[in-house]
């Protein structure tokens, strides 16, 4: 693996997806390449934000509900020799204690069953988002490493930030690299667009701060890209003047 190929591994390294031998080689490469080190830091920060986005706190009443149900059901004590012999003489008593124990188990299962389903759903959603983030990270790394990738710099962002677009005609994809992007107003988001002549085509969303975003969809002959401030959830067409417009190379 040569140095040029090592530059393409930032995304896979950021999400711990490299084989051990490639991971060791890339770690050595990071000590000499400040550009890759900065990109890995940005990608790891984005992955951390994804993790926080799917974190959920169990309902506050869950613990009290479980403890209350356990307290309502008598528990069976380990039998001593004398009590075991007494239970043998009185089989109904042993059956009663087993019924109490079963009831306690059922009460706990009923209290925790819904939580287990809820946690499983949350895990599935987190797994899907992680896989999606890995796919986008890989696609972003491939775009940046594409031989025909071109950069368009100089775009000013709200709050004094700056933006650079990267576009590859061979891969038919584009990305936005933002630095110092201010928070959107309350109830608003930054929406990305492809400029198709006199129209704008939705291309995803940009997060505040510093990071990279792969535009949704193909370039497909678009002449440029832009950012507008839209209501939370986005809009099918821009509802405000662009805060950024960048023209792609011919």
- Where is the domain boundary, 125, 145, 165? 145
pLDDT score at 205 = 93
Whether residues 201 and 238 share a domain: the answer is yes
Q: Strands 209-214 and 162-168, how do they pair?
A: unpaired
Whether residues 9 and 87 share a domain: the answer is yes
Whether residues 136 and 199 share a domain: the answer is no
Range 13-38 burial, b when 16+ CB lie within 10 A, else e: bbbeebeeebeeebeebeeebeebee
**Integer CA distances (angstroms), 100 to 77, 82, 97, 103, in order:** 11, 21, 5, 5
pLDDT score at 129 = 62
Alpha-carbon distance of 221 to 57, in angstroms, equals 45
pLDDT score at 203 = 95
Whether residues 72 and 187 share a domain: the answer is no
How confident is the model over 53-93, as pLDDT tens digits? 445 566 666 667 766 666 666 655 655 555 555 544 555 55
Strand ranges across the sheet with 209-214: 150-156, 162-168, 173-181, 209-214
Query: Per the structure, how many domains does the chain have?
Result: 2
Domain that holds residue 242: 150-247
153: nearest Cα among 161, 145, 162, 144 = 162
Whether residues 2 and 92 share a domain: the answer is yes
Whether residues 169 and 125 share a domain: the answer is no
Whether residues 182 and 97 share a domain: the answer is no
Consecutive H or E run containing 105? helix 91-145
How confident is the model over 129-152, as pLDDT tens digits? 666 667 777 787 788 777 888 888
Contact 164, 152 (CB under 8 A): yes
Residue 171 or 100, more confident: 171
How confident is the model over 108-130, as pLDDT tens digits? 555 555 555 555 565 566 666 66
- Where is the domain boundary, 145, 165, 183? 145
């Amino acid at each position: 693996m040569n140095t040029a190929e090592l530059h393409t591994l930032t995304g896979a390294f950021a999400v711990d997806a490299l084989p051990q031998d490639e991971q060791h080689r890339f770690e050595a490469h990071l000590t000499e390449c400040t550009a890759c080190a900065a990109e890995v830091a940005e990608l790891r920060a984005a992955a951390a934000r994804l993790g926080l986005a799917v974190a959920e706190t169990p309902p506050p009443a869950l613990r009290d509900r479980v403890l209350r149900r356990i307290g309502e059901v008598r528990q069976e004590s380990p039998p001593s020799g004398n009590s075991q012999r007494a239970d043998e003489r009185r089989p109904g008593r042993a059956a009663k204690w087993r019924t109490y124990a079963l009831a306690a188990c059922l009460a706990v299962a009923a209290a925790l069953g819904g939580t287990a389903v809820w946690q499983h759903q949350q895990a599935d959603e987190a797994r899907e988002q992680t896989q999606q983030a890995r796919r986008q990270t890989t696609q972003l790394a491939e775009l940046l490493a594409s031989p025909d990738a071109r950069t368009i710099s100089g775009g000013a962002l709200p709050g004094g930030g700056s933006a650079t677009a990267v576009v590859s005609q061979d891969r038919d994809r584009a990305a936005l690299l933002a630095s110092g992007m201010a928070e959107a107003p309350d109830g608003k988001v930054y929406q990305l667009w492809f400029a198709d002549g006199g129209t704008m085509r939705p291309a995803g969303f940009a997060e505040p701060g510093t990071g990279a975003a792969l535009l949704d969809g193909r370039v497909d002959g678009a002449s440029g890209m832009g950012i507008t401030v839209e209501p939370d959830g986005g809009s099918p067409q821009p509802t405000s003047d662009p805060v950024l417009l960048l023209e792609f190379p011919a």
